Structure 1
Protein backbone atom coordinates (compact mmCIF):
# COMPACT_ATOMS: atom_id res chain seq x y z
CA UNK A 1 0.00 0.00 0.00
CA UNK A 2 2.86 2.38 0.72
CA UNK A 3 4.35 1.74 -2.71
CA UNK A 4 1.11 2.78 -4.37
CA UNK A 5 0.80 5.98 -2.37
CA UNK A 6 4.47 6.83 -2.98
CA UNK A 7 3.98 6.29 -6.70
CA UNK A 8 0.83 8.39 -6.61
CA UNK A 9 2.71 11.19 -4.85
CA UNK A 10 5.49 11.00 -7.43
CA UNK A 11 2.94 11.18 -10.24
CA UNK A 12 1.22 14.16 -8.61
CA UNK A 13 4.56 15.95 -8.20
CA UNK A 14 5.43 15.28 -11.82
CA UNK A 15 2.03 16.61 -12.97
CA UNK A 16 2.54 19.76 -10.86
CA UNK A 17 6.04 20.23 -12.28
CA UNK A 18 4.80 19.78 -15.85
CA UNK A 19 1.89 22.15 -15.20
CA UNK A 20 4.21 24.84 -13.81
CA UNK A 21 6.54 24.63 -16.80
CA UNK A 22 3.66 24.57 -19.30
CA UNK A 23 2.20 27.65 -17.61
CA UNK A 24 5.60 29.36 -17.85
CA UNK A 25 5.61 28.77 -21.60
CA UNK A 26 1.98 29.89 -21.85
CA UNK A 27 2.93 33.05 -19.98
CA UNK A 28 5.57 33.78 -22.61
CA UNK A 29 3.65 32.68 -25.71
CA UNK A 30 -0.11 32.44 -25.21
CA UNK A 31 -1.64 34.08 -22.17
CA UNK A 32 0.77 36.51 -20.54
CA UNK A 33 -0.36 37.65 -17.14
CA UNK A 34 -3.16 35.11 -16.80
CA UNK A 35 -0.71 32.22 -16.84
CA UNK A 36 1.49 34.02 -14.32
CA UNK A 37 -1.48 34.46 -12.00
CA UNK A 38 -2.10 30.71 -12.22
CA UNK A 39 1.59 30.07 -11.39
CA UNK A 40 1.15 32.30 -8.32
CA UNK A 41 -1.95 30.31 -7.35
CA UNK A 42 -0.06 27.00 -7.84
CA UNK A 43 2.72 28.26 -5.60
CA UNK A 44 0.28 29.40 -2.93
CA UNK A 45 -1.93 26.31 -3.10
CA UNK A 46 0.48 23.39 -3.61
CA UNK A 47 3.97 24.49 -2.55
CA UNK A 48 3.61 23.54 1.15
CA UNK A 49 2.47 19.97 0.41
CA UNK A 50 4.33 19.30 -2.85
CA UNK A 51 7.39 17.13 -3.15
CA UNK A 52 10.85 18.39 -4.03
CA UNK A 53 10.35 18.03 -7.80
CA UNK A 54 7.16 20.08 -7.91
CA UNK A 55 8.49 22.70 -5.47
CA UNK A 56 11.59 23.14 -7.61
CA UNK A 57 9.69 23.65 -10.86
CA UNK A 58 7.07 25.90 -9.29
CA UNK A 59 9.77 28.06 -7.68
CA UNK A 60 11.74 28.24 -10.93
CA UNK A 61 8.78 29.30 -13.04
CA UNK A 62 7.61 31.83 -10.46
CA UNK A 63 10.94 33.56 -9.91
CA UNK A 64 12.09 33.42 -13.54
CA UNK A 65 8.77 34.95 -14.61
CA UNK A 66 9.29 37.74 -12.07
CA UNK A 67 12.89 38.35 -13.12
CA UNK A 68 12.12 38.13 -16.84
CA UNK A 69 9.29 40.65 -16.59
CA UNK A 70 11.30 42.96 -14.36
CA UNK A 71 14.35 42.92 -16.62
CA UNK A 72 12.23 43.50 -19.70
CA UNK A 73 10.52 46.54 -18.17
CA UNK A 74 13.71 48.01 -16.68
CA UNK A 75 15.80 47.66 -19.83
CA UNK A 76 13.03 48.84 -22.15
CA UNK A 77 12.36 51.90 -19.99
CA UNK A 78 16.11 52.51 -19.74
CA UNK A 79 16.53 52.43 -23.51
CA UNK A 80 13.57 54.75 -23.95
CA UNK A 81 14.91 57.13 -21.27
CA UNK A 82 18.36 57.25 -22.86
CA UNK A 83 17.41 57.74 -26.49
CA UNK A 84 13.89 59.11 -26.28
CA UNK A 85 10.54 57.72 -27.23
CA UNK A 86 10.61 58.99 -30.82
CA UNK A 87 14.07 57.82 -31.79
CA UNK A 88 14.07 55.02 -34.32
CA UNK A 89 17.14 53.51 -32.64
CA UNK A 90 15.28 53.20 -29.36
CA UNK A 91 12.76 50.90 -30.96
CA UNK A 92 15.41 48.93 -32.83
CA UNK A 93 17.27 48.24 -29.57
CA UNK A 94 14.09 47.53 -27.57
CA UNK A 95 12.80 45.08 -30.18
CA UNK A 96 16.16 43.33 -30.51
CA UNK A 97 16.49 43.10 -26.72
CA UNK A 98 12.94 41.82 -26.33
CA UNK A 99 13.40 39.25 -29.11
CA UNK A 100 16.68 37.93 -27.72
CA UNK A 101 15.56 37.72 -24.08
CA UNK A 102 12.10 36.40 -24.93
CA UNK A 103 13.34 33.68 -27.26
CA UNK A 104 16.00 32.66 -24.72
CA UNK A 105 13.35 32.32 -22.00
CA UNK A 106 11.16 30.25 -24.34
CA UNK A 107 14.08 27.93 -25.12
CA UNK A 108 14.91 27.57 -21.42
CA UNK A 109 11.22 26.95 -20.70
CA UNK A 110 11.23 24.09 -23.20
CA UNK A 111 14.27 22.62 -21.42
CA UNK A 112 12.44 23.00 -18.10
CA UNK A 113 9.35 21.29 -19.50
CA UNK A 114 11.44 18.41 -20.86
CA UNK A 115 13.10 17.98 -17.47
CA UNK A 116 9.71 18.06 -15.71
CA UNK A 117 8.37 15.40 -18.07
CA UNK A 118 11.46 13.30 -17.30
CA UNK A 119 10.85 13.77 -13.56
CA UNK A 120 14.06 15.75 -13.05
CA UNK A 121 14.71 19.09 -11.38
CA UNK A 122 15.81 22.06 -13.48
CA UNK A 123 17.42 25.33 -12.47
CA UNK A 124 17.24 28.17 -14.98
CA UNK A 125 20.70 29.63 -15.66
CA UNK A 126 21.60 33.03 -14.17
CA UNK A 127 18.17 34.01 -12.79
CA UNK A 128 16.91 30.68 -11.47
CA UNK A 129 16.79 29.86 -7.76
CA UNK A 130 18.42 26.87 -6.14
CA UNK A 131 16.21 23.90 -5.48
CA UNK A 132 16.24 22.67 -1.92
Structure 2
Protein backbone atom coordinates (compact mmCIF):
# COMPACT_ATOMS: atom_id res chain seq x y z
CA UNK A 1 0.00 0.00 0.00
CA UNK A 2 1.31 3.50 -0.77
CA UNK A 3 2.27 5.68 2.16
CA UNK A 4 0.04 8.60 2.96
CA UNK A 5 1.35 12.17 2.87
CA UNK A 6 -0.58 12.95 6.02
CA UNK A 7 1.76 12.86 9.01
CA UNK A 8 0.78 10.75 11.98
CA UNK A 9 -0.23 12.65 15.11
CA UNK A 10 1.78 11.94 18.19
CA UNK A 11 1.25 12.80 21.83
CA UNK A 12 3.51 15.86 21.60
CA UNK A 13 1.75 17.38 18.59
CA UNK A 14 0.78 20.96 19.54
CA UNK A 15 -1.55 21.36 16.59
CA UNK A 16 -4.93 20.16 18.02
CA UNK A 17 -4.83 22.43 21.07
CA UNK A 18 -3.35 25.39 19.19
CA UNK A 19 -5.94 25.12 16.42
CA UNK A 20 -8.73 24.74 18.97
CA UNK A 21 -7.61 27.88 20.81
CA UNK A 22 -7.42 29.98 17.65
CA UNK A 23 -10.70 28.59 16.32
CA UNK A 24 -12.45 29.38 19.60
CA UNK A 25 -11.03 32.90 19.44
CA UNK A 26 -12.51 33.38 15.95
CA UNK A 27 -15.82 31.80 16.96
CA UNK A 28 -15.94 34.18 19.90
CA UNK A 29 -15.48 37.14 17.56
CA UNK A 30 -17.91 36.09 14.85
CA UNK A 31 -20.41 33.38 15.76
CA UNK A 32 -20.97 32.75 19.44
CA UNK A 33 -19.54 35.53 21.59
CA UNK A 34 -19.48 34.64 25.24
CA UNK A 35 -20.10 30.94 24.76
CA UNK A 36 -16.89 30.40 22.79
CA UNK A 37 -15.05 32.62 25.26
CA UNK A 38 -16.28 30.48 28.15
CA UNK A 39 -14.98 27.35 26.42
CA UNK A 40 -11.68 29.10 25.63
CA UNK A 41 -11.33 30.27 29.24
CA UNK A 42 -12.02 26.74 30.50
CA UNK A 43 -9.48 25.32 28.06
CA UNK A 44 -6.91 27.93 29.08
CA UNK A 45 -7.49 27.23 32.78
CA UNK A 46 -7.16 23.48 32.25
CA UNK A 47 -4.15 23.34 29.92
CA UNK A 48 -2.14 26.54 30.54
CA UNK A 49 0.62 24.74 32.46
CA UNK A 50 0.68 21.31 30.81
CA UNK A 51 0.39 22.16 27.12
CA UNK A 52 3.18 21.87 24.55
CA UNK A 53 5.06 25.22 24.38
CA UNK A 54 3.72 26.11 20.92
CA UNK A 55 0.16 25.23 21.92
CA UNK A 56 0.60 27.15 25.17
CA UNK A 57 1.56 30.29 23.24
CA UNK A 58 -1.54 30.03 21.05
CA UNK A 59 -3.78 29.28 24.01
CA UNK A 60 -2.45 32.18 26.05
CA UNK A 61 -2.53 34.63 23.15
CA UNK A 62 -6.07 33.69 22.12
CA UNK A 63 -7.30 34.03 25.70
CA UNK A 64 -5.58 37.36 26.36
CA UNK A 65 -6.59 38.92 23.06
CA UNK A 66 -10.17 37.78 23.68
CA UNK A 67 -10.05 39.68 26.96
CA UNK A 68 -8.70 42.77 25.17
CA UNK A 69 -11.38 42.46 22.49
CA UNK A 70 -14.05 42.18 25.15
CA UNK A 71 -12.70 45.27 26.90
CA UNK A 72 -12.71 47.18 23.60
CA UNK A 73 -16.30 46.28 22.79
CA UNK A 74 -17.34 47.09 26.35
CA UNK A 75 -15.68 50.50 26.02
CA UNK A 76 -17.46 51.11 22.72
CA UNK A 77 -20.82 50.19 24.26
CA UNK A 78 -20.04 52.38 27.28
CA UNK A 79 -19.38 55.32 24.96
CA UNK A 80 -22.72 54.57 23.32
CA UNK A 81 -24.51 54.42 26.65
CA UNK A 82 -22.97 57.67 27.86
CA UNK A 83 -23.44 59.52 24.58
CA UNK A 84 -26.83 58.10 23.81
CA UNK A 85 -27.32 56.02 20.71
CA UNK A 86 -29.24 58.82 18.98
CA UNK A 87 -26.21 61.06 18.49
CA UNK A 88 -24.24 60.77 15.23
CA UNK A 89 -20.89 60.93 17.03
CA UNK A 90 -21.65 57.74 18.92
CA UNK A 91 -22.48 55.92 15.69
CA UNK A 92 -19.22 57.11 14.17
CA UNK A 93 -17.36 55.49 17.08
CA UNK A 94 -19.38 52.26 16.85
CA UNK A 95 -18.98 51.96 13.08
CA UNK A 96 -15.26 52.76 13.26
CA UNK A 97 -14.82 50.13 15.95
CA UNK A 98 -16.46 47.42 13.88
CA UNK A 99 -14.81 48.35 10.59
CA UNK A 100 -11.30 48.88 11.92
CA UNK A 101 -10.77 47.18 15.27
CA UNK A 102 -13.09 44.19 15.04
CA UNK A 103 -12.10 43.30 11.48
CA UNK A 104 -8.41 43.66 12.40
CA UNK A 105 -8.89 41.25 15.30
CA UNK A 106 -10.53 38.78 12.91
CA UNK A 107 -7.70 39.12 10.38
CA UNK A 108 -5.07 38.56 13.09
CA UNK A 109 -7.06 35.57 14.35
CA UNK A 110 -6.93 34.02 10.88
CA UNK A 111 -3.16 34.54 10.79
CA UNK A 112 -2.95 32.91 14.23
CA UNK A 113 -5.01 29.96 12.99
CA UNK A 114 -2.70 29.48 10.00
CA UNK A 115 0.32 29.60 12.32
CA UNK A 116 -1.33 27.04 14.61
CA UNK A 117 -2.00 24.71 11.69
CA UNK A 118 1.68 25.01 10.71
CA UNK A 119 2.84 24.37 14.31
CA UNK A 120 4.44 27.82 14.56
CA UNK A 121 4.32 30.12 17.56
CA UNK A 122 2.43 33.40 17.12
CA UNK A 123 2.18 36.61 19.08
CA UNK A 124 -0.44 39.20 18.23
CA UNK A 125 1.13 42.55 17.35
CA UNK A 126 0.67 45.39 19.86
CA UNK A 127 -1.74 43.55 22.16
CA UNK A 128 -0.01 40.18 22.34
Bin for the TM-score computed over the shorter chain: 0.7 to 0.9
Whether 2:12 is the aligned partner of 1:10: answer yes
Give 1:27 deviation, angstroms.
0.6
Extract structure 1 runs of 4+ deviating beyond 6 A: none
Whether 2:75 is the aligned partner of 1:105: answer no
Instruction: State the match for 1:63 in structure 2.
Output: 64
* Residue ranges of structure 1 left out of the alignment (5+ in a row): 1-6
Give 1:78 deviation, angstroms.
3.0
SS in 1 for 2:75: helix
Instruction: State the match for 1:42 in structure 2.
Output: 43
Give 1:79 deviation, angstroms.
5.5
Give 1:80 deviation, angstroms.
4.9
Q: Deviations over 1:56-115 (max 9, x none)?
A: 00000000000111022114423553x443212311321222221110000000000000
Q: How many residues align?
A: 120
2-side partners of 1:97 and 1:114: how far apart? 25
Taking structure 1 as the reference length, what is the TM-score of the superposition? 0.83
Instruction: State the match for 1:29 in structure 2.
Output: 30
The structure in which a higher percent of residues are helix is 1
Taking structure 2 as the reference length, what is the TM-score of the superposition? 0.85
SS in 2 for 1:97: helix
